[in-house]
Amino acid sequence: MYKLYNVKAWGSLSIHCLLEEMEVPYTNIWMTAEQVRAPEFREISPLGLIPALGLDDGRTMIESAAIVSFLTTAHPEKGMAPEPGSSDHGEFLSWLHFLSTEIYPFCEFTFPGNAFAMDDKHGPFVVDRANERINRCWQIVENRLQGEGPWMMGETYSALDIYAFMLSLWAQPSETDLLACFPAVANLAAGVRARPMLKAPLEAHGVMAPGGYGS
């Protein structure tokens, strides 16, 4: 059975939702930010990263996109990704890695109290530049959804939609501002929130209603 190390509204949200959607047995281990930073957690996740997913053989996976790829490949019968090796699967992976490398890491630069600026003087500049890049990427996602939607893989709901939804929660100054700018992304977010299997995890993370996340 899988073990999910989970922090509310962090990157583990996508894995939590995916496991619920797939109805795969797992143990959910809620953690606080303080527990994640504790030296003991480095024995599970060497870099202290969330999400972490414990596997049946005792090993642990990190990196959300890698875990999504693993779970959807390990359980193809659940239909949360195209058939491995198909052209559609290649497209799925392209978008998954686009989201995880072009949007995900830059969100950290925009959160209040970010530690990436040298001083308070440079903080607003870092936030503005990061938001410019993030919004350019969301425009690419918006174009994709308007042309091929309503889901990231067209008419077929997949793990990509959960992942994109998670990233939309972290938008600054707020999720509602992002959704107002990108109507197709807003439609995707509403569709994810309407999934029956996701009601419990989204409520647990405090994001069932738009704007529920606070960084």
Could you report the per-residue pLDDT of 67-103, keeping only the tens digit for each? 999 999 999 999 999 999 999 999 999 999 999 999 9
Which spans in the chain are helix H? 12-22, 33-37, 64-74, 87-98, 104-107, 123-148, 159-169, 175-181, 183-193, 199-204
Measuring CA to CA, which residue among 178, 206, 182 is closest to residue 193?
A: 206
**Confidence class of residue 53 from pLDDT cuts 50, 70 and 90?**
very high
Mean pLDDT value across residues 43-54 = 94
| Pair of tokens at residue 167 | 């990233």
Q: Distance between the two ends of the chain, CA-based, in angstroms? A: 31
**Type and span of the H or E element at 52:** strand 52-54
Mapped onto helix, strand or coil, the DSSP state of residue 154 is strand
Residue 152 has pLDDT above 90, yes or no: yes
Residue 156 has pLDDT above 60, yes or no: yes
Decide if 82 contacts 92 (C-beta within 8 A): yes
Mean pLDDT value across residues 4-20 = 98
Read off the DSSP letter of residue 131: H
pLDDT at position 215 is 46
pLDDT at position 88 is 98
**Confidence class of residue 214 from pLDDT cuts 50, 70 and 90?**
low
> Is the bond preceding 150 in cis, omega lying within 30 degrees of 0?
yes
Q: Beta-carbon neighbour count of residue 106 at 10 Å?
A: 18
Domains contained in the chain, CATH given: 2-78 (3.40.30.10), 87-196 (1.20.1050.10)
Share of the chain above pLDDT 90, in %: 86
